[in-house]
Structure 1
Amino acid sequence: MRSLPIAMQLIRRTMGTRRGFFLNVLLPAIALSVIAGLFSSLQSDKEIIAISNADQGALGAYMLDIVNQDSLYEVQMQTDLTDKQIREAVAAGDADAAIFIPADFTERLLAGQQPQPVLYRWTEQLWNASLLSSLEAQASSMAASVELLQAASGGAAPDAGKLSELLEQQAKPAVSAEHTPMKLGVVAANPIMIGSVLLFLMLLVSQSVGFIMEDREMRTMARMYTAPLRALDIALGNYLGSILVGTIQLVLVLSLTYFVFGYSPGVSFGAMLLVLECFMLASIGVMTAVAGLMRNAHQLSQINLLIVSPTSMISGCFFPLSMMPEFLQKLANFMPQKWALQAIDRLSTGAGLIDVAQPILILMLFAVVLLIFGGAVLRPSHQ
């Protein structure tokens, strides 16, 4: 096959020497794998929530039961602490967050008011923002239940015991779903690690495409076109070399991440490799299309910083896509990172490869269209 010598030459230039293999393959893979290991150990630790309940009524205790049932947190009851003391516990680092139930919580609820438990936190993060939202929603639900009982009893103040029974009945699910294709997994809620892998792959692909740009700039590609080779053979050779280099790097990263540092988002090694391989093909297409519009490799390295990081942020690689404005969520549909994250997220919920056929096909469409465009504009005649 005429394309193979071109592909092998690209591989030798990338990792053909000890220095090249260490700097271009081994060192980045180890660095990312170490980050994955640290991330995995931090992810396994539960946030510590200190709770102080000054309310003697039944509704304050019911609010605490809701927090205790959440397996995401490690709850520490601090019944003897005042509002000021539990706030100081968070400031001292004894707890990641603290909840204080005021003394008149039940009384104010039964009076038709909407009191809120107080949440203290050192910094606002996704998990404590979610906890605060859950507490506020639960308090609002209690207030609505009080209004319902008042209306049923002709405006009389409801009994706390009856209110507790009503809340317990409301907490029981009336309908349960066995399967939902849009179920969100751990990746959509906390995409930082997988997003870092996607960013890492795009940067590595950019390095391989940079060698192709050097061939174009140094007239090496022009000499290739004078040889008895078809333009298709030259393009396939360059693409095949980039794919093989990226695959070696990807397998090394996943092997270290899965089997050495023990990080896994609930997706099998083979399924993860398949999705990331498709994403890598799409990334090669993106970088090739961008390279075709640049004059030299130096411009390509500069423009990549303006493409890789912003598109990764828009695609939800560093924080959940649902937190961004609606117009950015729509813009993310034009980024391959978004579809790779979606595929991995669905796989983390237990879905099969058939269930992620759509995002994988979209990634392949990115690859085909952009590789064709890049192959056309990278020809020496377009310099």
Structure 2
Amino acid sequence: MPSLTIAQLLIRRVLSTRRDVFMSLLLPAFVLAGIVALFASTTDTEPKITILNQDKGSYGAMIGKQLEQEPKYDIATVASGSDEQLKQSIEDGDINAAIIIPADYSDQLIAGKSPSIVFYRMNEQLWNASLALSLEAETERMSHAAALLAQNNQLTKESLDELLATVHENRIATQAADMQIGETIANPEVIGLMLLFVLLLVMRSISLIMEDREHRTMARMFTAPVRGYQIALGNFLGIVAVGTLQLFIMVCLCCYLFGYDPGFSPFMLFLLLECFLITSVGLASAIAGLVRNSMQLSNIGNLVITPTCMLGGCFWPISIMPDFMQKLANFTPQKWLLEAADRLSGGGSISTVAVPVLIILLFAVVLLAFGAVVLRPSKQAISG
């Protein structure tokens, strides 16, 4: 079959020598596996947080108790101290963050006001940005409860306690479910790096096809008694075969050598990345069809890959982005793969990821169809 012959020739070009096997196949997989292991070990470390509760009422203590129930943080509550001491502890590396609940926190709530909590950290990171949002949301929830009672002239400490207890019970049930479907999105760097790795490898393989186009090798292929779809299929199979081998080595190294645990089976991780690989081939083909040479392919490819990875949630949770960016993320395949991985890491079955996977494959079909059309050399190049 001509397509298989074309695919075989493309594989030989990518892996023609031992040096090519090492540089194109083994070295990238080992480097990425090492980076993944480093990120995985970093994200597994629980941040140390000190809570200074200066509030004499019950609502400040309620904030501390709720934070202590979070398994992601190492919480220590102290009754005395100063801002400078906590700042110094952060600078010395003894703790990662400090939370100060002001002395009038409960009084402001009872008065119907919205108090604020002081949150110190050395620099802005994913976990402390998420924690800051949680603190703001918790204070806002209490303020809304107090405002609701005030509207009905029922704002007393007893009524607020009763309402907050009811809200807290319901919130715990919801939060427990969200915690199960949130491991990957909460720490997206690991799988996000894998997706970036896949995109970069595919762009390199597509550059070989661009060389054929520049050197008019592809034009000569179209003059042979071979149909255009067979040429496109052969190039597609060759790139996917090389990418599959690279993915297999990378997943084995990450999961079995470096001990990375995605929260579900390595086989399922491989299948998800394989689906994304097919979509990546379509994306790279579409980009290649819109440029004239390999240099432009590299430049335009970087301008597409990095923003889509950022928008798709590869480097930070989509939930912390503005609403309009969260909507735009739906147009990136990275977002749907991370969602599928997120559901699997939360204990979901294969059926729970059917919709995200189908959307990823739909991206692949559309992009591959477009790429196959625009990568075809012009009639002038074929006749010339």
- TM-score if structure 1 supplies the norm length? 0.88
CA spacing shift, 1:281–1:152, aligned 2, 3 Å:
closer
CA–CA separation in structure 1 for the residues paired with 2:51 and 2:171:
30
After superposition, give the CA deviation of every residue in 1:140-172 in whole Å (9 maximum; x if it has no partner): 4445566677888977x646xx86566445422
CA–CA separation in structure 2 for the residues paired with 1:218 and 1:151:
76
CA–CA separation in structure 2 for the residues paired with 1:147 and 1:222:
72
After superposition, give the CA deviation of every residue in 1:104-135 in whole Å (9 maximum; x if it has no partner): 44455445544333221222333223323333
CA spacing shift, 1:270–1:381, aligned 2, 3 Å:
same
CA spacing shift, 1:352–1:131, aligned 2, 3 Å:
same
Task: List alignment gaps of at least 5 residues for structure 2.
Answer: none
Equivalent position SS for 1:130: helix
Equivalent position SS for 2:378: helix
Letter in 2 for 1:120: Y
CA–CA separation in structure 2 for the residues paired with 1:377 and 1:109:
63
Equivalent position SS for 1:351: coil
Q: 2:291 aligns with which of 276, 289, 294?
A: 294
CA–CA separation in structure 1 for the residues paired with 2:312 and 2:245:
25
After superposition, give the CA deviation of every residue in 1:231-251 in whole Å (9 maximum; x if it has no partner): 232222111110100000011
Q: Does 1:38 align with 2:38?
A: yes
Between 256-265 and 333-342, report the one with greater CA deviation: 333-342
Which residues in structure 2 correspond to 1:334-373 (within 5 Å)? 334-373=331-370
CA–CA separation in structure 1 for the residues paired with 2:221 and 2:146:
80
Equivalent position SS for 2:51: strand
Which residues in structure 2 correspond to 1:8-157 (within 5 Å)? 8-143=8-143
Equivalent position SS for 2:48: strand
Between 233-242 and 250-259, report the one with greater CA deviation: 233-242
Do the aligned residues in 2 keep the contact of 1:54 with 1:103 (CA within 8 Å)? yes
CA–CA separation in structure 1 for the residues paired with 2:52 and 2:171:
32
CA spacing shift, 1:240–1:260, aligned 2, 3 Å:
same
CA spacing shift, 1:367–1:152, aligned 2, 3 Å:
closer
Shift of 1:23: 1.2
CA spacing shift, 1:181–1:381, aligned 2, 3 Å:
farther
Q: Does 1:279 align with 2:276?
A: yes
- TM-score if structure 2 supplies the norm length? 0.88
Count of matched residue pairs:
380
CA–CA separation in structure 2 for the residues paired with 1:116 and 1:181:
25
User: Corresponding residue for 1:188?
Assistant: 185
Between 288-297 and 167-176, report the one with greater CA deviation: 167-176
CA spacing shift, 1:41–1:178, aligned 2, 3 Å:
closer
Equivalent position SS for 1:173: helix
CA–CA separation in structure 1 for the residues paired with 2:142 and 2:281:
54
CA–CA separation in structure 1 for the residues paired with 2:287 and 2:165:
58
CA–CA separation in structure 1 for the residues paired with 2:375 and 2:305:
20
Which residues in structure 2 correspond to 1:154-233 (within 5 Å)? 158=157, 167-173=164-170, 184-233=181-230
Do the aligned residues in 2 keep the contact of 1:206 with 1:304 (CA within 8 Å)? yes
Do the aligned residues in 2 keep the contact of 1:149 with 1:158 (CA within 8 Å)? no
Equivalent position SS for 1:115: coil
CA–CA separation in structure 1 for the residues paired with 2:257 and 2:338:
23
Shift of 1:363: 2.0
Do the aligned residues in 2 keep the contact of 1:14 with 1:20 (CA within 8 Å)? yes
CA spacing shift, 1:218–1:345, aligned 2, 3 Å:
same
Do the aligned residues in 1 keep the contact of 2:39 with 2:189 (CA within 8 Å)? no
Alignment RMSD (CA, Å): 3.0
CA spacing shift, 1:85–1:220, aligned 2, 3 Å:
same
Between 165-174 and 262-271, report the one with greater CA deviation: 165-174
CA–CA separation in structure 2 for the residues paired with 1:340 and 1:51:
37
Do the aligned residues in 1 keep the contact of 2:51 with 2:100 (CA within 8 Å)? yes
Shift of 1:75: 1.3
Task: List alignment gaps of at least 5 residues for structure 1.
Answer: none
Do the aligned residues in 2 keep the contact of 1:62 with 1:164 (CA within 8 Å)? no
CA spacing shift, 1:292–1:117, aligned 2, 3 Å:
closer
CA spacing shift, 1:83–1:370, aligned 2, 3 Å:
closer
CA–CA separation in structure 2 for the residues paired with 1:154 and 1:370:
60
Do the aligned residues in 2 keep the contact of 1:216 with 1:380 (CA within 8 Å)? yes
Letter in 2 for 1:3: S
Do the aligned residues in 1 keep the contact of 2:279 with 2:363 (CA within 8 Å)? yes
Do the aligned residues in 2 keep the contact of 1:109 with 1:143 (CA within 8 Å)? yes
